[in-house]
Chains A and B, each alone.
Chain A
């Protein structure tokens, strides 16, 4: 196939993708369960991963995922197609994260009081234990941050979004996001060094 033919096929494919996306958004606006199910199947893993990294708690993450997809038909009215649907879902999660963060913190405190570290079996137990320990350490350190700095850190450092994408998700200028990230890292380093020394 020639270059011209290839580009024609690519353009047609993109156009049909855009039409499908538009139709999906319309179906979402009508709160069609099949549309929500379709979006869930495509994006739940990404939303869940972000929720779990942000909250540091599987149960709270599930609650947040549930809330994101239940509120999607209403929230999608604001969707203009400037960003991907996945980015839009993450932004919904950010908007709903505040009280889930508090719930996750409470749950963590309760579990630590009962000495539940929830270590699982692993192929390399020592390495896995170290990884879990570090993840828990960071999650506890994240609990000390304000929600905006926490979101900025998880989006940019853990989820590895670019600062432009992250700024779209949180709805703040890139410069603001970078400032939040700077302060978040500074506080986290301090918290980790303190905890690591203990």
Chain B
């Protein structure tokens, strides 16, 4: 009985009277109005968003091209708590020694090496090849951020300035000694030892200079400054 009732009720539900034409038309109008409003909203949104996006792209491109973006980033880093000095030094410290040392190292020591211009040309290339590589080594070994700068590097710079910029052999000798005592096996130790020997030559301390140059001439540092050291030793012979 209940099965028949369900079938009868299902049929009754199926035979529900059609909706009036007026209601169907009203809903059609609602649908089309809703679609129109959606399109208008989308166009309005685009009209606002496109100029904003275009301005953002243009400003970003200008900032990247003019370098202003880096300054803005630095300021942002300051704002979020990363100190500018740490971040900028961490960013620039690996590159700075290579930049500042390389040109100075390229400049020969005319007073010292004047007698042997032939011997001078080789060291120039040797140094210019060796110094950046060691600078690179120190740069790659240095952590990228928030690492305190290497104190021995400051000693090296000081010695370098006294030797190549101030041309003060006495001060340079003391500075090279200071660097070598701080970093006897440092990245720049071979260069420092060779330059120390040159300072001794300049000061006329021939015996000590010979003792300092001998390891280079003997090949204790491979090919580094071997020829130049041998040439100097020949000239220093009594």
Contact = CB atoms under 8 A, between A and B. Distances in A.
B24 A48 contact: yes
A192 B15 contact: no
Interface in B5-19: 5-6, 8-10, 12-19
A37 B28 contact: yes
Given A31-B38, A134-B12, A158-B10, A189 B31 contact: no
B14 A158 contact: yes
Contact of A134 (B8, B35, B38): B8
Main SS of chain B's interface residues? helix
Contact of B19 (A52, A69, A73, A135): A52
| Interface footprint category on B | 20 to 34
Interface stretch (A58-66, A81-89, A109-117): A58-66
A37 B8 CA distance: 36
B218 interface: no
A44 interface: yes
A58 to B, nearest CB: 7
B30 interface: yes
Contacts of B39: 31, 33
B44 to A, nearest CB: 15
B38 A138 contact: no
B23 A58 contact: yes
A135 B14 CA distance: 8
Contact of A131 (B6, B12, B31, B32): B12
Interface residues of A, number: 42
A24 interface: no
Given A135-B9, A189-B2, A48 B31 contact: no
Contact of B32 (A33, A135, A158): A33
A53 interface: yes
Most buried by B among A31, A61, A134, A185: A134
Contacts of A69: 31
Contacts of B10: 138, 157-158
A33 B30 contact: no
B200 to A, nearest CB: 83
A135 B34 contact: no
B145 interface: no
Interface of B: 1-3, 5-6, 8-10, 12-19, 23-24, 26-28, 30-32, 34-36, 38-39
18 contacts: A33-B32, A33-B35, A37-B32, A40-B28, A44-B27, A44-B28, A53-B13, A56-B13, A58-B23, A70-B31, A134-B8, A134-B12, A137-B9, A138-B6, A138-B9, A138-B12, A158-B10, A196-B5
Interface of A: 31, 33, 36-37, 40-41, 44-45, 48-49, 52-53, 56, 58, 61-62, 65-66, 69-70, 73, 120, 130-132, 134-135, 137-139, 141, 157-160, 185, 188-190, 192-193, 196
Given A48-B24, A185-B6, 10 more contacts: A36-B35, A41-B28, A45-B24, A56-B13, A58-B19, A65-B27, A66-B34, A130-B12, A134-B13, A135-B16
